Amino acid sequence: MTKVRKAAVGLGCFVLLIIAATMFFFSRSQWIDAGHVGIVYNANGGLDRSHVRPPERVFVGWGQRLYQYPTMLQNAIYTQDPKEGDEKAADGVQVTTKDNQNTVFDISVIYRVRKEDVFKAFDSFGPIPIEDVQRLHIRRALKEAANNIGTQYDVFDLMGAKRLEASEKLTVEMQRLLGYKGIDVERAMFCACEPTSDLQNKINARVNAYTDLQISQIKSQIAEIDRQTAVVLAEAQHQARQISAAKTQGSSLEMLQLQADEAAIERWNGELPPIQQAPGQTIVIGSGALQGLTGSEGQAK
């Protein structure tokens, strides 16, 4: 009985030990999110450079810390709107342009850390989370790059027609500043801006001038259309008068012919001519026939 009890106690302790170990393992383990890779830093032995861990559950022991780096694209938004972006505060980037305007721009940076660059990123920024790298180091590089590019444009170009061109140059500059540090910048873009009151007045003046120019051009087009319409109308009226005159002349000739026919009918005595010529026929009248005609006419009288 004693051996059975000891065996039961031993089995119970073993089960408890397994449960405790399992609970300890799960309490000290962390998940590497999808689209990320991880590395483990040990306070005693330093960074574990044996391999980069894929998305999985990783046991993190005492004195160890797991750092994750995004291999999928991340969009870092630096905006002046405190309700937007990752930093819930006014976080826009002030850009100095070649016309000496200091304007705050919202800028978006699309980046990631490639798997082969993870250790390079750790060596560049140290044992800090990627969120702090984005908030501090990427933003610092962005301020430098934005001002390097901003001095090549005036503020109106940067807000309008040449924004895309400036964004492409900004992307190249960010790649230069962060590429060797393990941050792969896919795209950097100038977005909306927060103009000062002085700049806003200049914008309003330019918009008003542009609007007046558009109105003037539209009025000129309307005047040209009215002129062309008047020319077409005058030509149409002239042609109508010519057609009306031609019709009137033709009608008058027809009326005269009808009047002549009516007079001939009134003078006709009801008798057909004794000699009727057929088409293409030649008639020779002798003196006797003429005398006979003359005599018949006298008798008729």
Is pLDDT above 90 for 91? no
* Domain extent at residue 205: 198-234
Instruction: Please give the residue that has the higher pLDDT: either 107 or 236.
Output: 107
Question: Of residues 182 and 90, which shows the higher confidence score?
Answer: 182
pLDDT band for position 286 (cuts 50, 70, 90): low
277 belongs to a structural domain: no
Using the 3D structure, point to which of 9, 44, 69 is the last residue of a domain. 69
What's the pLDDT band for 300 if we cut at 50, 70, 90?
Answer: very low
pLDDT at 202: 59
111: how many CB neighbours lie within 10 A of its CB? 22
At residue 210, the pLDDT reads: 66
Asked if residue 295 has pLDDT above 80, the reply is no
- Of 10, 42, 69, which residue is a domain's last? 69
Q: Are residues 50 and 96 in the same domain?
A: no
pLDDT at res. 134: 92
Backbone angles phi, psi at 279, to 5 degrees: -60, 130
* Structural domain includes residue 300: no
In whole angstroms, how far apart are CA 143 and each of 80, 232, 278, 285?
Answer: 14, 63, 114, 126
286 three-class SS:
coil
Tens digit of each residue's pLDDT (9 = 90 or more) over 97-134: 888 888 889 999 999 999 999 999 999 998 888 999 99
Helix or strand run (H / E) with residue 107:
strand 102-112
Helix (H) or strand (E) holding 21: helix 2-27
Residue 294 lies in a domain: no
Place of tokens 């999928």: 72
Strand (E) or helix (H) holding 248 = helix 197-267
pLDDT digits (tens, 9 = 90+) for 45-71: 788 888 898 998 887 777 788 899 999
User: CB under 8 Å to 134, separation ≥6 — which residues?
Assistant: 74, 76, 86
Q: How confident is the model over 173-194, as a mean pLDDT?
A: 93
Residue 243 lies in a domain: no
Residue 9 is assigned to a structural domain of this protein:
no
Q: Give the model's pLDDT for residue 279.
A: 58
Spatial separation of the C-alpha atoms in residues 136 and 129, rounded to whole Å: 11
Are 64 and 42 in contact, with CB atoms under 8 Å apart? Answer: yes
CATH number at residue 143: 3.30.479.30
Judged against a pLDDT cut of 90, whether residue 12 lies above it is answered with no
Asked whether residue 301 is assigned to any structural domain, the reply reads no
CA distance 233 to 239: 10
Domain count, the chain: 3
Q: How far apart are CA 118 and CA 101, in angstroms?
A: 39
**CA gap 73, 92 in Å, rounded:** 21
**pLDDT average, residue stretch 136-161:** 90
Identify the CA nearest to 103 among candidates 88, 115, 91, 92: 92
More confident residue, 153 or 9: 153
Q: Are residues 54 and 129 in the same domain?
A: no
The per-residue pLDDT of the chain, averaged, comes to: 78
70-74, 170-174, 277-281: lowest mean pLDDT where? Answer: 277-281
* pLDDT interval class at 176 (50, 70, 90): very high
Looking from the CA of 11 toward its CB, the CA atoms found within 13 Å total: 6
More confident residue, 199 or 129: 129
Bridge partners of residue 93, in order along the sequence: 105
- Where does the pLDDT of residue 30 fall: very low under 50, low under 70, confident under 90, or very high at 90 and above? confident
Q: Does 134 share its domain with 191?
A: yes
Q: Is-contact 113 123, C-beta < 8 A? A: no
Q: Is the pLDDT of residue 188 over 50?
A: yes
Please indicate, yes or no, whether residues 98 and 184 belong to a single structural domain of this protein.
yes
pTM for this entry = 0.60
